[in-house]
Amino acid sequence: MTDVAHTPSLPGAVRTTQTQHAPKSRLILIVAVIGGLILLIALFGRIMDFGIRRDEMLFVAPAHLLGRFDLYTDFFYNHLPYSAWLFRGSYLAFGDLGLLMSARLAVFAGWLLLLGAAMWGVYVVSRAPMLAIFTGVALITNETLLGQAGMAASNNLLPLSFGVLALGLFLNEALRGPVRAAPLFCAGLCLSIATGMKISAVVIIPPLVIGAFLLPRTLGFVQRLRRVVLPALIGGLLGAAPLFLQLLSAPEVFMAHVTGFHTGPHIAYWEAFRHTEPELAMSLRDKVVMAYAGWLSGGALLLTLGVVASGWLVLTGARERAKGIEWGALLLTLAVLGTTMVMSLVPTPAFPQYYAAPVVFLPFVGAVLVRALDPQTMRALVPALAAGMILMVFLALPRLGPGLLALRAPAQTEVAQFDAGGREIASVLSEAGLTGPIATLMPLYPLEEGLEVYPEIATGQFAYRVADFITPDLAGHFVMSGPDGMAALFEATPPAALLLGYEPDLEGPMRAYAQAHGYQPAAAQSLSNRYGDGVLFIARGEVAK
């Protein structure tokens, strides 16, 4: 009697429970969205105010130079071309905001792609929304990515964004059921774009190529070739076509810049001047120490713990969980993680930004493992993931907090200061009636206003400083001049001004020329950055004629 009497009330009780949980779920969603927006705004502010890096002379200057010159043949550029082309496109779209700002906007767009691709990829693989959110927070608070790797306009972050998207697209097709050609085509395209930005991204390709011949396991060999391998191959070839065209246009010059420089004078220079750069690793031991700091500290350690905890729950739980692991997908993600870890240890010299790649691919290992968990166990993980996210944000506050504060005074941010510096140089030269190139190892200042610079040092100091370590054959492929060649260069085309004060050890010949030929310092207030207080020397008297 009692049981029968209570039976009709059960549906109402369920509806009441659902009604009680609905406002709570909406509140959590609102808090998550607001928190995510605040993190993105802080990230944007940090990118806009991040101190200039020497690498940006190399990567950002071509955005303006490509309007008049050809890459490699007309000025020095020692990387694959896709990053330079991307920054050129951003400059054409947003150049009115400033040269450096247009490049940093491209970096922020790369961040949006990275976060979107990682969160989407982890979600479709794991089927766990909380893990996707955890991934986004882990990346946006990662110490390595909040340093030069993810803030400066270079080729460090951008290839990771396309690599993560490629992996997510492939895993989704391998795990979802009937494969589709379009996503696999896009995956191949993204892999080529990533490689065209940074040659080390090529290590992502072999695991995915092997995976294309093995996943999904339900397909026969002929079907796999037609439905998986062929679309990805076509996308990859299309993405690589501009790179091959660039190579064929001047193969010897291209190879001299991309491989000859890095395997010869670059290493020799840093072996001789390793004491000038504290964040530098030359030996394998030092590289491992640097990798340890990048992979197992702060938010990265919490991310690693989350992945390890997921694996522990799966592998030590019920036998059905272990049976539910998609072993092919797990091996693929582990292979991508492993190859990026090994590649991080290969370049010599090594810098902290080289160790960012494994961090962005690690969440996919956790996603494959969590996929094997039942909903109840996954719900039990939610509090731990939430606590982890809170700790990650707390650890990142010293870096993200100033990003929020920087946006209170946009005119004082780094990108605005560079634009102001360029305008100030242009104003001083205009008032003095001076025209001609500006000699400097910090060319972004004059390029901000489209002023002329010397092609030999148009991308900064990278070729200039290694002149003593370059063989004549290799130097013949570069448009460059070392310190010993500055006087002859200036005698042929006298500079209208020299912007000095950032690299005292390298600027000696330029300063000597300025003193010997009567150049005088001009009043300029917006030329200071993390490398020093810039001084603009302008031509006077006979020199100015």
User: Which phi and psi angles does 74 have, rounded to 5°?
Assistant: -110, -15
Tokens of 397: 């506050």
- Measured CA to CA in angstroms, residue 403 lies from 6, 38, 101, 397, 476 at distances of 58, 10, 15, 9, 44
pLDDT, tens digit (0-9, with 9 covering 90-100), for 176-210: 878 999 999 999 999 999 999 999 999 999 999 99
- Check residue 8 and give its pLDDT: 45
Residue 281, helix vs strand vs coil: strand
How confident is residue 318, by pLDDT bands cut at 50, 70 and 90?
low
More confident residue, 380 or 471: 471
The percent of residues above 90 in pLDDT, for the chain, comes to 80
Q: Tell me, what DSSP letter sits at residue 453?
A: B
Partners of 537 in the β-ladder: 498, 521
pLDDT, tens digit (0-9, with 9 covering 90-100), for 124-168: 999 899 999 999 999 999 999 999 999 999 999 999 999 999 999
Partners of 439 in the β-ladder: 498
pLDDT, tens digit (0-9, with 9 covering 90-100), for 62-117: 999 998 999 999 999 999 999 999 999 999 999 999 999 999 999 999 999 999 99
- Check residue 524 and give its pLDDT: 83
pLDDT, tens digit (0-9, with 9 covering 90-100), for 381-420: 888 999 999 999 999 999 999 999 999 999 999 999 999 9
Separation between Cα atoms, residue 87 and residue 70, nearest integer Å: 15
Tokens of 55: 């690498």
DSSP codes of every residue in 487-542: HHHHHHS--SEEEESS-TTT-HHHHHHHHHTT-EEE--SS-EETTEE-EEEE--GG
Query: Residues with Cβ < 8 Å from 296, sequence gap 6 or more?
Result: 304
CA nearest to 289, candidates 246, 371, 373, 352: 352
What is the chain's length? Answer: 545
B/e letters for 115-150, b = 16+ CB within 10 Å, e = fewer, are bebbbbbbbbbbbbebbbbbbbbbbbbbbbbbbbbb
How confident is residue 36, by pLDDT bands cut at 50, 70 and 90?
very high
Asked if residue 527 lies in contact with residue 424, where contact means CB atoms within 8 angstroms, the answer is yes
Tokens of 501: 């004060």
Query: Residues with Cβ < 8 Å from 82, sequence gap 6 or more?
Result: 193, 196, 197, 242, 243
Residue 278 has pLDDT above 90, yes or no: no
Partners of 350 in the β-ladder: 281
- Check residue 53 and give its pLDDT: 96
